[in-house]
Chains A and B, each alone.
Chain A
C-alpha cells in the first residue's frame, strides 16, 4: 500500500538514494540540486515511474526519465533549461500528465521539469476580468476560486479534476464546451515563457487586442512543450452562467442525429455542447451503468447542454432545441434541469471509456476532427473499418464541432501482435478517410509521439517544412521536448 502511494516532491527526500541517471553527465544532477534544492531532484526509479507516462498506454509509449526536477520559480526554470543546453540533455516540461498523445513523456530520457510546485493564483484582477496564474495551477482549482467571485473560467477541458493550466496551454486543450466557449487558446491573453535557450519572456498581456508583431503567444499555445516552458499565464474570465438545462435525445439512426446538429446550430441558440454517441457507445455505457432509459431502440443519441444567466431564457432555448430534434425525427427528448438528472445523463457520456475498458482495456483512443457537416459521411467509413478488421470502433464525441473520439477496441481474443498490425493498418485507413473529408487527425489531444508517424505521412510537406524551420530557429540545440510532433 505504502509504496503505491504517489510520492510528492520534497516530502521524503532520501539521501541514500543512488543516482541511477547513468546517461547524464555526472555534474548535471549535482547542478540541478543546487538550483532547486536536493529534495526537489528525484532520481529514484520507483518515484520517477509516475513521470514516465501520461494517459496513453504506458507499455507502448512510456519511458523513464533520467531525473525529475520540481522548480518553484521562473528563474529556476531558466537555469534548468540553460543547464540542459550546456549538456545537450533533452528536457520535457510536464503538468499533470493527463495528456492523450504522449506529449509529456520523456521518450528519450533526460530531465522532466514538473511544474506542479508552481501552482499559485498570483492575481485575480476583477477590473480587467483576468487571472494571473502559475502554470502548475490545477484548472479545477482556478475554476473554483473564480466562481467564488461570480466569474467563470470557460476554457477547461474534460479532465478538469487533475489537469493544469500549463498543460492545457501546451496542448491547446478543448473539451465538451467548445461550441459556445471555444478551446483553451481563446482564454489565454498572455504567457510567460522560458524559451528553449533559457530566457524568460512575456508574450501578450492583459489585452483584448494585440497585433504588435508576430503572434508568438498563439504559436506557443498548442506547441506541446516543444517551443519552451510556459511558467505563468494571464487567463480571461467571463460572467458565470446561472442556469443550465440538458437534453438527452434518442434517434433511430446516427444520420438523423447528425442531421439535427446543423439545424440546431443555425437557429440562433448556441448550445454549450452537442455530444454524439453511436449505438455501440450507448449500449455499452448504459449497461455498464445499469441505466434504465429506454435506449434499446436508439441508433444514436445527442446530449445537448444550454446555459445562460436567465433561467426563463434557458428554458426557452431548451425547448427550441428540443423541438428541432423532434422535427428531425427524434425518438424521445429527455430533459434534465436539476443537478441529479443532469449528472445522470452526463454519466452516460462520461463512462463510455470506462465501460469499454471492461470489455477490453487495450484501445486506441482517436481524436479525429472533420467539418461538422461531414460527420454523416464518416460513420459508414468507421463501420467499414470495423467489419474489415474485426474490431469494435465505438464512435462518440463532440458532434457540434466535428471532433469525434472514434476508439479502436481490441478484440479480447486477438493476440497483441495481430492487434498492433490491425491498429496500424486501421489507423492509416481511418486517417486517409478523414483527410478525404477535409479533416485532420487530432482536434484536441495533439500529435505528441502517438500520432507523429501518421501526421508526417499525411501532412502537406510544405507545412511540415515550415514547422521544422520554426522548431530549429527556436530550439537550435533541439533539447526542448525533442522528437515530439515532427522529426527534424
Chain B
C-alpha cells in the first residue's frame, strides 16, 4: 500500500505574535513547526504501514525551510519526502493549494491512500484535505476517529460527528482526514533522526509537473485574506467585594440570585 501524507509547516502557536498595525502574523523561520494536527495523520500512516506493509510519502508545499518538517516526518518513520517549493506557489488559498498538491500526487506516484490532519492550526479551514479528494475524484472521509477494519480493499471507519460516531465503509483509493483521537503520535527515535538526516528531500518547482499556471499561487486563488483581526473579548464581569462576614452573606446571596436568574441552578 502506498500512503501519501500531505503535511504543512505552521508557525509555532506558542510563539506567534500578531503585528498590531497590520493584523498579520509575525513569522520567523526558526519558529516553524509541523502542524500539530498533521502528527496524527503521520502516526496513522505509520501504524497502517507497520500492520499491512507498504511505503509512506510525505508531501508539503511551502518555502525551502519546510524540508525540516518533512524530515521530522521521516524521523517518525515515513519513507520519502517531497517538497513543492516555487515562487509560483506562493500565496495560494485552499483551492489553489489542493490543486497543486493533488496534481503532484496524481502525476508522481501511484497512491492507494491519502491521509491528512483535520486542519492546520494557522488557517484553520480544514478544506485542503477534502479539496485534494475532489480534484482527484476519490472518496473522502473526514474526522476519522478509528480505523475498525481493513480487508485489503476497503476500510471500515468510525467518523466523529457532533452527535457521536458514524460508521463508514470506504474503498481504496480514498482520502481520510483524521482527528486527535485516532492515535497518540510517537516520539521520534535517534535511529529515525539519523535516517532522516541521511535521506534527501526532493524539491520540485512548478515545471516538475504539468500544472496549469493560472491555477497556482495567489493568481490562481479565488479567495483573498482581506484582513485578520484579533477578536476583542469584552466580558462584563461583576466583582463582589468581601471584607466582612456580612459581605460574605450578601455576596453569596447575590451569586445564587445570579445563577437562578439564568436558570443555572
Interface residues of A (CB under 8 A from B): 2, 12, 247-248, 292-293, 311, 315, 318-319, 322-323, 326, 332-341, 344-345
B189 touches A335 (CB 8 A): yes
Q: Which residues of A contact B30 (CB under 8 A)?
A: 311
Flag B186-229 by CB within 8 Å of A: 1 or 0 each.
01111111100000000000000000000000000000000000
Is the Cβ of A339 less than 8 Å from the Cβ of B190? Answer: no
- Known A12-B243, A339-B12; judge A344-B36 contact (CB<8 A): no
Beyond A2-B248, A338-B33, A339-B14, is A323–B187 a contact (Cβ under 8 Å)?
A: no
B242 within 8 A of A: yes
Given contacts A12-B243, A344-B187, contact A319 B33 (CB under 8 A): no
Residues of B within 8 A of A332 (CB): 189
The minimal Cβ–Cβ distance linking B114 to chain A, given in whole angstroms, is 25
A336 nearest in chain B by CB position: B187
Residues on the B chain within 8 Å of A318, using CB? 190
| Chain B positions within 8 Å of A247 at CB level | 190
Is the CB–CB distance between A293 and B190 below 8 Å? no
Distance of A315 Cα from B193 Cα, bound (Å): 10
Chain B, residue nearest A2 (CB): B242
Q: How far is the CB of B55 from chain A (nearest CB, A)?
A: 23
- The CA-CA distance from A323 to B191 in the complex, in Å, is 9
Measured in the bound complex, the distance between the Cα atoms of B185 and A336 in whole Å is 12
A2 contacts which chain B residues (CB < 8 A)?
Answer: 242, 248
Instruction: Known pairs A341-B187, A344-B187; list 6 more (Cβ under 8 Å).
Output: A247-B190, A319-B193, A333-B190, A333-B191, A338-B12, A339-B12
- Cβ–Cβ contact A335 & B188, under 8 A: yes
Cβ proximity bits B217-255 to A, threshold 8 Å, 1 near / 0 not = 000000000000000000000000011000010000000
Query: Which 7 A/B pairs are nearest by Cβ-Cβ distance?
Result: A333-B190, A322-B190, A334-B187, A292-B184, A335-B188, A335-B193, A338-B33
A339: chain B residues within 8 A (beta carbon): 12, 14, 33
Check if B184 sits within 8 Å of A319, measured CB to CB.
Answer: no
Pairs across A and B, CB under 8 Å, 25 listed? A2-B242, A247-B190, A248-B187, A292-B184, A293-B187, A319-B193, A319-B194, A322-B190, A323-B190, A332-B189, A333-B189, A333-B190, A334-B188, A335-B188, A335-B190, A335-B193, A336-B187, A336-B188, A337-B188, A338-B12, A338-B33, A339-B12, A340-B36, A341-B187, A344-B187
Q: Given A2-B242, A12-B243, A339-B14, are A334 and B33 neighbors across the interface (CB < 8 Å)? A: no
With a cutoff of 8 Å between Cβ atoms, the chain A residues found around residue B191 in the complex are: 333
Bound Cα distance A345, B242 (Å):
43
Per the bound structure, the CA–CA distance linking A248 and B190 in Å amounts to 10
Chain A residues positioned under 8 Å from B75 (CB to CB): 335
| Cβ-defined contact, A345 with B190, below 8 A | no
CA distance in complex: A334, B30 (Å) = 22
Q: A242: nearest residue on chain B (CB-CB)?
A: B30
Quick one: closest A residue to B187, CB to CB? A334
**Neighbour of B189 across the interface among A292, A334, A340, A345, CB < 8 A:** A334
Q: Give bound CA distance, A315 to B243, whole Å.
A: 57
Q: How far is the CA of A326 from the CA of B189 in the complex (A)?
A: 11
CB of B14 within 8 A of CB of A345, answer: no
* A389 CB → nearest B CB, Å: 37
Taking the closest CB of chain A, its distance from the CB of B33, in whole angstroms, is 5
In B28-75, which residues have CB < 8 Å from any A CB? 30, 33, 36, 75
* Chain B residues with CB below 8 A from A336, complex form: 187-188
A311 nearest CB neighbor, chain B only: B30
Evaluate contact between A319 and B248: CB separation under 8 angstroms: no
- CB-CB under 8 A from A311, the residues of chain B are 30
Cross-chain contact A335 with B242 (CB below 8 angstroms): no
Per-position contact with A for B161-199: 1 when CB-CB < 8 Å, else 0?
000000000000000000000001001111111100000
